[in-house]
Amino acid sequence: MAEYIACVVGDDDHVISFLTFICDTDASATARAKQLAKSHDVVLWSGERIVTRIVKAQQSRTYRLEAYLAARPAAIARAMRCPVWCGHSTSHHAFQSSSRDGATKGA
């Protein structure tokens, strides 16, 4: 069993925080350190030896936006000024609002 130090580092490679723990193998220590690499890189040390550097988990902006929108249909409806989320496109709602204002139907 060996003592490991997982250092969470910022973009400028300065240590933000660290966690000290004991594991049987480098592989189990690496697996534990990966849990810290959600928003920053982690450098895993065992004594004076660098075991590995784990690069932060990155999601594409498209994925994050899709996940945000999928979780908030009511917020999307408000943004589109739709009284009820109905799954139609924004052009549908633009037509409804203009027809409510007394405008005539387009061809």
Predicted confidence at residue 78, as pLDDT, reads 58
Confidence band of 56 (pLDDT split at 50, 70, 90): confident
Confidence band of 71 (pLDDT split at 50, 70, 90): low
Q: Please tell me whether residue 81 adopts helix, strand or coil conformation.
A: coil
Measured distance CA(10)–CA(24) in Å, rounded: 28
Are 33 and 11 in contact by the 8 Å Cβ rule? The answer is no
Q: What residues contact 20, with CB distance under 8 A and at least 6 apart?
A: 3, 4, 5
Predicted confidence at residue 36, as pLDDT, reads 87
Sheet holding 2-9, edge to edge: 15-23, 2-9, 41-46, 49-54
Confidence band of 81 (pLDDT split at 50, 70, 90): low
